[in-house]
Structure 1
């Protein structure tokens, strides 16, 4: 009889080998490009380094347990997104992407899919439920959106896309497997840039795709095999190690983010704040219903480039960088890239694991400038 355990416990044991006397309970990375293969080509579990690796297998098993669907890992989140779009859509078919989501996914579609006959439509996250999905093959949605944190009703959107005969994939990077369960909410695929919070230590670029059906995941796995877009064993092992502490890291990060968001929302220097955990936020109602936590990302507008830059220079505990999800608090003025339609003074803040008393003091001091 299987025992129902908390997901915070599951994440610590996900993908580990069965306990054996005198054997490690966390195997190290398998560095292998070739495997002994005698006789028929399919007579061994592992044949060649581009096809499979025991270290991949362990992490994929663990992520599959948490996602509720079979998983394929990749050397980056963009590789995961590219695998979905490239393996499941052909010339003449249509992809819908959020116009306010991660820019690089849109750029990939513009540069490499549209020239090959795939149609692309861009829709704001808040308008996705009103869109007509007739003749749409794939919808790839980021929820919450990045960086404005709009949340779409995944269950309702999945039903609408399926009724039109399409597939829906959810980019779950901002919440991870412990913050949202896209496959349980009706999505066909769930993907993540594990570079961010799932690994959580800002030292590995990584990604994965999980699917509800074997037919879909086999297409994604075949694309990885033939494109050669494979992760290294050391990176894979590091992500598996990071996965074990995901629950404890998120507990601190999300708790911190809630308190920081509440402070920012009441500070006179802050023009506006977006955080799904604020009852006043436009995303609060649906976020509370479909998310297991409200996340660790906050976006707030300081009104101008100058004010945002002064804040970032003065915030002593904040690393200014273009990523998120690490144990350190990270922030950036998003409009500096020119790829997001956001106010010039908007700061995207990824709240880390520092003690909240120190974070609040650092932010209060910085905002005083």
Structure 2
């Protein structure tokens, strides 16, 4: 058997990760096991013990994710649960945490309301400045690249090398790209966090997240945090994400191809003031993305002249869900300044879905015509 490349093998293995364990008559898809308690006449012979420790359906989705990440994974009930677990597992008393000032704002809220309250120094650095930042005294360097929502990109390998030289652990939020398009662990990151609520789940019907890493001691702390904090996912949610993951590579292929078409057309449209998409050759993020990723993603940043124009566009487009999330089968749009992100008032984050691209573009063009 000849496999074209490692990515193809990984995507095929993801679909068949249960095969070697199947016995005669076993279901091909993992069963949904919702038990919280298990038959436990003895406590010294292994097996499932209690639902806060582990569940069969968690095991299945974590095994599936591990194929994609190339590393052990621990699942959580949301992306923020995964992020907070990674931070708490890696934080070092007295050593500062460096966070992106232009990344997902809830991470900054967690740092301000909890990490600082525990006496942990926190510094904020723009994504584009991470390559030159001073990491002296840092215990954690946290990256989000491309950043959400600005789509700024930093060189993960270069930043990780500098952070490690300063003795810091590198955590990368890979939600916007997923391990299909970008593998931060291969580029030097110590931990990857992601909100599987987005593209892996893919259908806007589940909250989920995971942490991946190759250092057994750090991952043991992540797993202990889940057990001791009780931040555990439900079995049904794990089952839904497992189902979504089986079409992830296929969905992303269409979403990214459509995003390229839409971004190019938006960039040429007279009513659009600015477009950010790493797949555009003149985008500031293009060169680094080419080096460290296998695609440009499905998120587009477009800027209209005003908040009123942006809201009118979103109201007029028939194929954009007005939702504060991304990565689903349906395309979505949101004016991000309403949450306080440091973007122009007319900035819209577009998440391109799996609609036929010409129909999607017709809807976007019709909406632009009325603003």
SS at match of 2:21: coil
**C-alpha distance in 2 between matches for 1:38 and 1:169:** 41
Question: Structure 1 residue 16: deviation in Å?
Answer: 5.7
Which of the numbers 126, 132, 136 marks the counterpart of 2:134?
A: 132
Which residue of the partner structure matches residue 250 of structure 1? 252
- 8 Å CA contact retained: 2:90, 2:169: no
Aligned counterparts, 1:35-46, within 5 A: 35-39=38-42, 41-46=43-48
SS at match of 1:368: helix
**C-alpha distance in 2 between matches for 1:277 and 1:15:** 35
Which of the numbers 2, 5, 9 marks the counterpart of 1:6?
A: 9
Identify if the C-alpha distance between structure 1 residues 264 and 14 changes in structure 2 by more than 3 Å, giving closer, same or farther: farther
**C-alpha distance in 2 between matches for 1:45 and 1:22:** 22
Identify if the C-alpha distance between structure 1 residues 335 and 14 changes in structure 2 by more than 3 Å, giving closer, same or farther: farther
Which residue of the partner structure matches residue 18 of structure 1? 21
Using the TM superposition, name which of 63-72 and 185-194 deviates more.
63-72
SS at match of 1:121: strand
Which residue of the partner structure matches residue 63 of structure 1? 65
Q: Given the two structures, how large is their TM-score scaled by the length of structure 1?
A: 0.97
Which residue of the partner structure matches residue 296 of structure 1? 298
Count of matched residue pairs = 367
**C-alpha distance in 1 between matches for 2:185 and 2:165:** 17
Aligned counterparts, 1:350-365, within 5 A: 350-365=351-366
Question: Structure 1 residue 197: deviation in Å?
Answer: 0.4
SS at match of 1:137: strand
Identify if the C-alpha distance between structure 1 residues 98 and 74 changes in structure 2 by more than 3 Å, giving closer, same or farther: same
Unaligned runs of 5+ in 2: none
Q: Given the two structures, how large is their TM-score scaled by the length of structure 2?
A: 0.96
- 8 Å CA contact retained: 1:93, 1:136: yes
**C-alpha distance in 2 between matches for 1:281 and 1:144:** 12
Which residue of the partner structure matches residue 110 of structure 1? 112
Which of the numbers 143, 158, 161 marks the counterpart of 2:160?
A: 158
Which residue of the partner structure matches residue 211 of structure 1? 213
Which residue of the partner structure matches residue 341 of structure 1? 342
RMSD between superposed Cα atoms in Å: 1.4
Which residue of the partner structure matches residue 234 of structure 2? 232
Q: Which has the higher helix share?
A: 2
Residue deviations 1:181-219 (CA, integer Å, cap 9, x gap): 011111000110000001100000000000121011001
**C-alpha distance in 1 between matches for 2:283 and 2:156:** 18
Unaligned runs of 5+ in 1: none
Identify if the C-alpha distance between structure 1 residues 220 and 301 changes in structure 2 by more than 3 Å, giving closer, same or farther: same
- 8 Å CA contact retained: 1:11, 1:246: no
Which residue of the partner structure matches residue 330 of structure 1? 332
Which residue of the partner structure matches residue 93 of structure 1? 95
**C-alpha distance in 2 between matches for 1:222 and 1:136:** 23
Which of the numbers 55, 73, 76 marks the counterpart of 2:75?
A: 73
Residue deviations 1:329-356 (CA, integer Å, cap 9, x gap): 0000000112x11000000000000001
